[in-house]
Amino acid sequence: MSQQIVKRRSRGFICVNAHPEGCRCNVERQIAVARQALAASPRQRAPRNALIIGASTGYGLASRIAAAWGYGARTLGVFFERPPDGDKTATAGYYNTAALAQRAAGDGLFAAHLNGDAFSDDCKRRAMEVIRRHLAPIDLILYSLASPKRTHPRTGVAHNSVLKPIGRDFSSRTVELDSEKVVDVTLTPAAENEIADTVAVMGGEDWRMWIEALAAENLLAPGARTLAYSYIGPELTWPIYRDGTIGRAKQDLEHTARALNQMLAKLGGSAQISVNKAVVTQASAAIPVVPLYLSLLSKVLRAKSLEEHPIEQMCRLFSDFLAADRPHPADDAGRIRLDDREMLPEVQSEVMTLFPRVTTENLRQLTDFAGFQREFRNLFGFEVTGVDYDQAFETAVPLPDSAG
């Protein structure tokens, strides 16, 4: 046993440790939201056996909770997280999954876990074995993988993604998360190899490999559905996001969705992109412009009683689209649009009016930057309401590697 008092440690803005009890409380809160929000949801089209790739944080974790506690689905979560090591805490995603596993066992829900490189053939092989024994056939596959790098399983080449514009410099304003200063920022355009590398990491190839592997092993149920998560955002962020290297990868993801949709149609199934709203994540905090945009967006949405966190978004995904007898319509490109509240004209107009007015001096008055900081630290289990951070907690929390 390794009980210790865990205080937040940071390198710059990023937390380099995590709090097990704070992470557990986060998971418990999301479970409570899902149970309440989905208690009266239609169940005829709800998933029974779900695979979530990228299941330990953010939208992937919330998806798994919604499927399991909203509909009783059996789930396999795949993720790549660091376990505890002596005095070093585990990553937040590890503690999130440990809390989920403990609660699932107590609630009689089947929840299997694979901690490994989802891009690798070995991880896919291990997942197929678990699915064959415990979850076959799979009727829902959610792809929520976020990684800065990928070693290609066929070529062995290591690809690293970049956050850059394409074709020309991009200048805007952002918040320096260390100094908390509002500053101008200019990003130079990506080279062709950087664009290709970003597509290799964040595009649709690995998603396709997962679906093809399941199909080859006859593990897909009739009517099987798969979704990958994406983001579009406002024109303000397009040069660095939609029209930048990430956007090029997201285009590839959409091409993959169309190809997979044709493939799964033979089983009566489908493949779609779900465009989700902007939320505070480790990834979004690293994108220039986005922290300032999020600090404004959250304040505007909350004032209009429209704010949603990942669990509320995923509950809406299931209740309005995946489990609904009459799903809400997709957009003209066939995408599910959960960013509809973020993109309301009155919301965007207010955000865009405030954006150029923000300075270092009025940052905390015009925006909810304090809320952005709190939400970011919450991701690691810190500043969570109800947790006594002066108390010692067990940090060597066990987690099963896979199901029996």
Q: Tell me, what CATH number does 207's domain have? A: 3.40.50.720
Three-state SS for 82? coil
Average pLDDT of the segment spanning 235-240: 89
Q: How deeply is 289 buried, as exposed, middle or buried, from its count of CB atoms within 10 A (0-12, 13-18, 19+)?
A: buried
Distance CA 52, CA 143 (A): 6
% of the chain surpassing 90 pLDDT: 88
Domain membership of residue 294 (yes or no) is: no
Q: What is the pLDDT of residue 403?
A: 53
Asked if residue 35 has pLDDT above 70, the reply is yes
Distance CA 224, CA 267 (A): 7
DSSP 327: P
- The token duo for 392 is 């010692």
Q: Which of 59, 71, 229, 241 is catalytic?
A: 241
Q: What is the pLDDT of residue 402?
A: 58
Mean pLDDT check: name the lowest of 12-16, 217-221, 255-259, 297-301: 12-16
Mean pLDDT check: name the lowest of 145-149, 304-308, 400-404: 400-404
Average pLDDT of the segment spanning 97-121: 97
For residue 44, what pLDDT band results from cuts at 50, 70 and 90?
A: confident
Domain membership of residue 224 (yes or no) is: yes
Domain membership of residue 179 (yes or no) is: no
% of the chain surpassing 70 pLDDT: 99
Average pLDDT of the segment spanning 372-399: 95
Contact (Cβ atoms closer than 8 angstroms) between residue 149 and residue 161: yes
Which sign, positive or negative, has the C-alpha torsion 253, 254, 257, 258?
A: negative
Contact (Cβ atoms closer than 8 angstroms) between residue 79 and residue 1: no
* Mean pLDDT of the chain, nearest integer: 94
Domain membership of residue 346 (yes or no) is: no
Q: What is the CA radius of gyration of the chain?
A: 21
Q: What is the pLDDT of residues 60-98, one digit of tens each?
A: 999 999 999 999 999 999 999 999 999 899 999 999 999
Domain membership of residue 156 (yes or no) is: yes
Mean pLDDT check: name the lowest of 63-67, 177-181, 305-309: 177-181
Average pLDDT of the segment spanning 204-217: 98
| Length, in residues, of the chain | 404
- The token duo for 131 is 């699915």
Omega of the bond leading into 137 within 30 degrees of 0 (cis):
yes
Distance CA 259, CA 267 (A): 14
Quote the pTM value: 0.96
Q: What is the pLDDT of residue 202?
A: 96
For residue 401, what pLDDT band results from cuts at 50, 70 and 90?
A: low
User: What angle is formed at CA 250 by the lines to CA 249 and CA 253, rounded to 5 degrees?
Assistant: 95
For residue 1, what pLDDT band results from cuts at 50, 70 and 90?
A: low
Alpha helices in 131-244 (DSSP H): 192-202, 205-216
Average pLDDT of the segment spanning 14-27: 96
- If DSSP states are collapsed to H, E and C, what string results for 278-323? CCCCHHHHCCCCHHHHHHHHHHHHHHCCCCCCHHHHHHHHHHHHHC
Domain membership of residue 16 (yes or no) is: yes
Total count of domains within the chain: 1
Asked if residue 369 has pLDDT above 50, the reply is yes
Asked if residue 404 has pLDDT above 50, the reply is no
Tell me if residue 241 is catalytic.
yes
Average pLDDT of the segment spanning 137-160: 96
Distance CA 91, CA 16 (A): 8
Domain membership of residue 183 (yes or no) is: no
Q: What is the pLDDT of residue 391?
A: 97
Distance CA 226, CA 395 (A): 35
Distance CA 308, CA 97 (A): 22
Asked if residue 18 has pLDDT above 60, the reply is yes
Q: What is the pLDDT of residue 357?
A: 97
Domain membership of residue 401 (yes or no) is: no
**Domain of 235?**
3-162+192-289+307-340+385-394
- What DSSP element (H or E) covers 151? strand 149-151
